[in-house]
Amino acid sequence: MIPVSAIACQDTCAPEVTWQTILQQAVTDPVELCERLAIRPEDRPSLLAACEQFALRVPEPYLARIEPGNPRDPLLLQVLPQVAELQEYPGFTSDPLDERNHNPLPGLVHKYDSRVLLVSTSLCAIHCRYCFRREFPYQDNRNSRQDWQEALSYIGQRIEVNEVILSGGDPMSLPDRQLAWLAGQVASIPHVARLRIHTRLPVVIPQRITQECLGWLTSTRLQTVVVLHSNHPNEIDGDVTAAIQRLRQAGITVLNQSVLLAGINDEASTLASLSEKLFAAGCLPYYLHALDPVRGSRHFALADDQAIALHKALQARLPGFLVPRLVRELPGQPAKTWLA
């Protein structure tokens, strides 16, 4: 028998599932993932060894957008560990962007004159197999308030820095009160004009964009820019669209960056549809990144000439403002390098 209290609660007081709960309950077991998505055992690569190097992690709202029974699903391929990851190739390294040489203080990467990147957390809502920071030494970059004070005073001493970028990990995996504190500290540095947040969370858990979140994003003197990370039009469902619209209605500039990935989004029609869907939600495409050669990611790589040809085909399909800039990050350069 169903207890009366449960019946009474069904419609009226069912607690809303919070983004924190969704984050905590993400699927981390590869066998569970395959079972949930009806992937046949013969289609399952030997996942476990690959998981040891970089754990599997997929939250429910993202999982729900994957087509069951399709081992080539473009969202599944972004999160499913592959045997190919274990293969070593020359040129594919643990620190392809030479970030360790630009990491003067814990939690701070300063490569480009006018903007400083704060590695605010190691936590992500999702683990993307091609991630260039999959081997970033997060344990040396764990921040105490003391570390943050030092990073902030570093920025305070450099008047050429007018923009602070929160990155990670995913900064939006931190609680809002911590982000609000950090945003307040950044705003107290007079020469900083902009706060940029690089996050994939609104795409993978759109419930993340709460009133509380909009609160600290808008109650600052800084101009705030949220740069999303989405690679495929199937990632943009109604809930993601609504999350982007909430940001836009609050007056926040919303941009998107993608990573060009073989077998996932390496067709002009796919990228054109991504740009169209993002813009319909209120988000402008910003960068299309050539893959950073991080160890274990070569199976996602496209040659530069292929990438350039694809970008040309994309230009032929879209208005200029919906064409993301095709870039590669090369160590030692003062900015990203435009390939096309």
Ligand X SMILES: *Cc1c(COP(=O)(O)O)cnc(C)c1O
- Per CB under 6 A, does 109 bind ligand X? yes
260 CB neighbour count, 10 Å cutoff: 25
- Closest approach of ligand SF4 to the CB of residue 322, in Å: 23
Provide CB contacts within 8 A for 262, sequence distance 6+: 299, 300, 301, 302
- Closest approach of ligand SF4 to the CB of residue 247, in Å: 17
Considering CB distances under 5 to 8 angstroms, the limit depending on partner class, which of ligand SF4, ligand X, none binds residue 208? none
- Closest approach of ligand SF4 to the CB of residue 132, in Å: 7
Q: Do 168 and 197 touch, CB atoms closer than 8 A?
A: no
- Per CB under 6 A, does 336 bind ligand X? yes
Considering CB distances under 5 to 8 angstroms, the limit depending on partner class, which of ligand X, ligand SF4, none binds residue 115? ligand X
- Per CB under 6 A, does 325 bind ligand X? no
Considering CB distances under 5 to 8 angstroms, the limit depending on partner class, which of ligand SF4, ligand X, none binds residue 128? ligand SF4
Considering CB distances under 5 to 8 angstroms, the limit depending on partner class, which of ligand SF4, ligand X, none binds residue 200? ligand SF4
- Per CB under 6 A, does 228 bind ligand X? no
Alpha helices in 104-198 (DSSP H): 145-156, 176-187
Q: d(Cα 11, Cα 103) in Å, to the nearest integer?
A: 52
- Per CB under 6 A, does 112 bind ligand X? yes
Q: Which is nearer to ligand X, 117 or 179 (CB)?
A: 117
Q: CA gyration radius for the chain? A: 20
Provide CB contacts within 8 A for 328, sequence distance 6+: 289, 290, 304, 336, 337, 339
- Closest approach of ligand SF4 to the CB of residue 54, in Å: 8
Q: d(Cα 259, Cα 183) in Å, to the nearest integer?
A: 27
- Per CB under 6 A, does 229 bind ligand X? no
- Per CB under 6 A, does 76 bind ligand X? no
Q: Which is nearer to ligand X, 38 or 335 (CB)?
A: 335
Cα 166–chain centre separation: 12
Least Cα distance to 256 among 286, 223, 217, 236 occurs for 286
38 CB neighbour count, 10 Å cutoff: 12
Alpha helices in 37-144 (DSSP H): 47-53, 60-63, 76-79
The pair of structure tokens assigned to 201 is 């969370």
Contact set with ligand SF4 (CB under 6 A): 124, 126-128, 131, 133, 168-170, 200, 229
Residues near ligand X (CB under 6 A), total? 9
Q: Do 193 and 116 touch, CB atoms closer than 8 A?
A: no
- Per CB under 6 A, does 232 bind ligand X? no
Q: Which is nearer to ligand X, 82 or 162 (CB)?
A: 162
Dihedral sign from CA coordinates of 233, 238, 242, 245: positive
Least Cα distance to 283 among 320, 255, 311 occurs for 255
Using DSSP, state whether 99 is helix, strand or coil: helix
- Closest approach of ligand SF4 to the CB of residue 5, in Å: 40
Q: Which is nearer to ligand SF4, 81 or 168 (CB)?
A: 168
- Per CB under 6 A, does 117 bind ligand X? yes
Q: d(Cα 254, Cα 198) in Å, to the nearest integer?
A: 10
Least Cα distance to 313 among 340, 335, 287 occurs for 340
- Per CB under 6 A, does 154 bind ligand X? no
Q: Which is nearer to ligand SF4, 192 or 243 (CB)?
A: 243
Q: Which of 57, 115, 129, 134 binds ligand X (CB under 6 A)?
A: 115
- Closest approach of ligand SF4 to the CB of residue 203, in Å: 9
- Closest approach of ligand X to the CB of residue 175, in Å: 24
Binding site for ligand X (CB under 6 A): 109, 111-112, 115, 117, 165, 329, 335-336
